[in-house]
Amino acid sequence: MSEALEVRAEIAKIARLLAVEPDAVSYLDKIRPADLVKFREQLIELFYGGEIGGLQRFVGPSKILPTGLVASITQESVGPVLTARIAGLVDPAQAIAVVAKLPIEFLADVAVEIDPRRAARIIGGLSEDVTGTITEILIGRREYVALGRFVGFVSGATLASTFDRVSDADLLQTAFVMEDKDQLTVAVGMLPDKRLRGLIRAAGRLDMWAEAIDLVLHLDDEQYARVIDLVAGESDATLDALIRTACDEKLWSLVLPIASDMDKPGKVIDALLRADDAAIISMVDVTIEYAQWDELYALLEKTPDDRLKIFRKRTAKLKLTEQLEPVADLLE
């Protein structure tokens, strides 16, 4: 049910790889996420994999040259694109030693071009300071896809430290296109509630609830519960934006389970009741389409009686009573 978000993220990654705007490849939005991942990996192999034999011969002499000389040659003669291609062929210890002698702007240029899977040990060996500075440069260039690939191969602690350097909006955009989202749990676990509230408010203020929802769905149970309970206590404006996103981007199949999992979803219910009739119709339609009756039942069970009465009147007015028969006992 989160396929729509996965597809959007994959289209952004493919567009960056092809150096085009996402709209140019938006026709791919009917393809399954797993197939888009395979397609992107084939493109990466096409761009990066065909030159291995020749590049290995190129890398050979670097093993016997002083690190400083290798760094100088790398910067002046090899350039960031070719450096990115050969990074995965170089001994990680030697590569990290060379990195220490290269300008940080050059390293950022390499980070944009690199296939991190081929250089994971090198990326993982970079210091938090180097990783953080590269992050700041890439954020300044709005290279979110490149950054998402790059930071997907650092440790959870380094990722949390990196997130400290970026704005709420930049963090949401980077997390959305991260290559390894399993690490988000570790990073979010190290962020204070104040920062998480900032992310939630940015999602509402900047129309980035889709990115925030995607982040929430990649957390483990503990961090998931922590974040959604913070969401439950947010302002009317922030939660109104959540309801709008659920309707406009057809994400009720994701928002409804999140709301039903909240300990106190009263303010989310209030936001739904403040919305126009289309929001309630949209929620009911999605509940039927995905048979999410358990989720709706759990949400309505937690709804205060006065709000439940209003919901019952609204659905009756919209002639939805018959469609809501699976939860009729709560609406009597």
Q: Given this model, what pLDDT does residue 54 score?
A: 47
Contact 172, 208 (CB under 8 A): yes
**Regarding predicted confidence, which is higher, 2 or 136?**
136
What pLDDT digit, counting tens, does each position of 199-258 carry?
999 999 999 999 999 999 999 999 999 999 999 999 999 999 999 999 999 999 999 999
Query: What is the pLDDT averaged over residues 86-104?
Result: 78
Contact 9, 261 (CB under 8 A): no
CA distance 312 to 273: 11
Please state whether the predicted TM-score (pTM) of the whole model is above 0.75: yes
CA distance 268 to 168: 22
Both tokens of 114, joined, read: 């690199």
CA distance 255 to 269: 12
Q: Given this model, what pLDDT does residue 69 score?
A: 46
CA distance 3 to 28: 13
Q: Given this model, what pLDDT does residue 281 score?
A: 96
Q: Please give the angle made by the CA atoms of 197, 201 and 205, to the nearest 5 degrees.
A: 170
CA distance 296 to 285: 12
Residue with tokens 């990326």: 123
CA distance 127 to 256: 41
**Any residues with CB less than 8 A from the CB of 108 and at least 6 apart, and which?**
134, 137, 138, 141
What pLDDT digit, counting tens, does each position of 109-135 carry?
888 888 888 788 888 888 888 999 999
Contact 111, 150 (CB under 8 A): yes
Q: What percent of the chain has pLDDT over 70?
A: 89
Q: Given this model, what pLDDT does residue 320 score?
A: 95
What pLDDT digit, counting tens, does each position of 167-188 carry?
999 999 999 999 888 889 999 9
